[in-house]
Chains A and B, each alone.
Chain A
Amino acid sequence: KQEVTQIPAALSVPEGENLVLNCSFTDSAIYNLQWFRQDPGKGLTSLLLIQSSQREQTSGRLNASLDKSSGRSTLYIAASQPGDSATYLCAVREYGNKLVFGAGTILRVKS
């Protein structure tokens, strides 16, 4: 059974720092991996989608990498801002149409 783990569970950094969020998964048989952002009491906003054949994707200050063979992905946030404060979730799409989610990393960027 696929399991997705996100480390750390919570992170607090000063504004301007570069930071890395980690996601690991136990079964490498995936179609893709998706990173989401969730603000308190809100739905999920898709940040980046990496297909299993890709190594990384970039959008603005965000860069996500995927190492499928080792079951790892990282989300790199450059020059963090207070507006980046949110919960970040990663999810892998298994063969069979299911997205399996990690529990998330709660990020707080202090001004």
Chain B
Amino acid sequence: DGGITQSPKYLFRKEGQNVTLSCEQNLNHDAMYWYRQDPGQGLRLIYYSQIVNDFQKGDIAEGYSVSREKKESFPLTVTSAQKNPTAFYLCASRKKLADYNEQFFGPGTRLTVL
């Protein structure tokens, strides 16, 4: 099956801890994205990567970090510097032959800070 997988589905973090959310895709997509979703709000872009070993900040990058060492993987680390990390995190990918391509999403990870 081709698609995007995210793990874990649920994640609990104590204040002051860093946690890493996994995102893997086997669609051979070039671009990958991380979004945050809060209740009643649209998705907000955290980071994105268009090619291996390169990534750019989105609208709300503070307190987050990413890496793109392999084309199929784009992990997101939520650091202790993120003041309000409780949210639903969505990973997405897109084949970047051109800017008109469709974007696909993974099933999400719900992060709760205890």
Is A101's CB under 8 angstroms from B50's CB?
no
Is A51's CB under 8 angstroms from B100's CB?
yes
The interface bits of chain B over 75-114 (1 if a CB of A lies within 8 angstroms of the residue's CB, else 0) are 0000000000000101010001001101111111010000
Tell me whether A99 is interfacial, beta carbon within 8 Å: yes
The interface bits of chain A over 1-23 (1 if a CB of B lies within 8 angstroms of the residue's CB, else 0) are 00010000000000000000000
Contact residues of A: prevailing secondary structure: strand
| Cα-based distance from A103 to B4 in the complex (angstroms) | 23
Tell me whether B2 is interfacial, beta carbon within 8 Å: no
Interface residue total, chain A, C-beta cutoff 8 A: 25
| CB neighbours of A103 from chain B (8 A) | 40-42
Given the contacts A31-B100, A32-B100, A44 and B90 also touching, CB distance less than 8 Å? yes
| Cα-based distance from A34 to B103 in the complex (angstroms) | 8
Is A93's CB under 8 angstroms from B45's CB?
no
| CB neighbours of B41 from chain A (8 A) | 103
| Cα-based distance from A46 to B96 in the complex (angstroms) | 17
CB of B106, distance to nearest CB on chain A (Å) = 5
Tell me whether A71 is interfacial, beta carbon within 8 Å: no
| CB neighbours of A36 from chain B (8 A) | 105
Is B105's CB under 8 angstroms from A101's CB?
no
Which residues of A are interface residues toward B (Cβ below 8 A)?
A: 4, 31-32, 34, 36, 41-46, 49, 51, 89, 91, 93, 95, 97-104
Which residues of B are interface residues toward A (Cβ below 8 A)?
A: 4, 6, 31, 33, 40-45, 48, 50, 58, 88, 90, 92, 96, 99-100, 102-108, 110
